[in-house]
Amino acid sequence: MSRLHPFTLLAVAAALPALAWILPAPAGGAGAAVVALGLAATAGARRGLWPALLTAAPFWVFLLMLHDVATTVTIGLRLTTMAASFVWVVAVLPPPRLVEAMVAAGWSARVAYLFAATLSAVPLFKARGQRLIDTQRCRGLSPRGGLASRLRALRALALPLILSALHEVDERALALETRGLAPGIRRTPLAPPRDRVGERVARWGLALGCAAALVWRIA
């Protein structure tokens, strides 16, 4: 799966949620959710399926608190598709490959970097969060125990997580400037991924399929 061209992976990850919202509920959402969760499972239980289910679970809880069961199922399946598609694409698409593909397709390196950075933000935040947990543990904070103590721990983790990320943004901006990520110069693609004709056709097929489904639903 990870050998596919980055644009193909993105097209699949975008088409599934689109179809989940366009196709009639609950069958359309259920079908899209099954496919999305199946794709997430191909990335591995720990890297794909489990994070997708964990990401979707809070939405189901909130929906149940706000709506009846039928509405919860309808919207829940759609949100599950979105979560699973995003988790899957983050798991199987290395940001450097996406940058290479976008630059080879004529996008500016800055835009490609910004786009790819959103994919790499999740694992980076996770790693930083783990470091902060270790740091706060050294200072006597316990992130385990009952709900109240977990909430206290969350407050002690969230603030440094956000502040350190904001601080690092400045330094990273400086570093990228010094490493030539400036407007007006076209980056040389070092190893652009191969874009096969079959994949291009499949991408157009997905786009046309979504458009056709939308027309069918409106009509």
Partner 1 sequence: MTRLALEHVSFWYPATAAPALADVSLAVADGEVVALVGHVGAGASTLLLVAGDLAPRVLGGRLEGRVTCAGTATGAGRRGIVLPTPWTQLSGMASTVWDEVAFGPANLGWPKDEITRQVERALERLEITPLRARDPATLSGGELQRVIVAGILAMDPVLLLCDEPTAELDPAGARAVWRLLHATAREGRAVLVATSDLDAAAEVVDRVVWLEGGRVAGAGTRSLLAADAMCAAGLGTTVAGVWRAAGLAAPYPATLAEAVQRWG
- Select the span of 34-42, 51-59, 92-100, 207-215 touching partner 1 (CB under 8 A): 92-100
Which of 111/173 has CB closer to partner 1? 173
CB of 123 to partner 1, least distance (A): 10
Among 168, 194, 196, 205, binds partner 1 (CB under 8 A): 168
**Contacts with partner 1, 115-134, as mask; x by CB under 8 A:** -xx--x---x----------
User: Over the chain, what HEC string results?
Assistant: CCCCCHHHHHHHHHHHHHHHHHCCCCHHHHHHHHHHHHHHHHCCHHHHHHHHHHHHHHHHHHHHHHCCHHHHHHHHHHHHHHHHHHHHHHHHCCHHHHHHHHHHCCCCHHHHHHHHHHHHHHHHHHHHHHHHHHHHHHCCCCCCCCHHHHHHHHHHHHHHHHHHHHHHHHHHHHHHHHCCCCCCCCCCCCCCCCCCHHHHHHHHHHHHHHHHHHHHHHC
Taking CB under 8 A as the rule, does residue 45 contact partner 1? no
- Contacts with partner 1, residue ranges (CB under 8 A): 94-96, 99, 109, 113, 116-117, 120, 124, 168, 170-182, 185-190
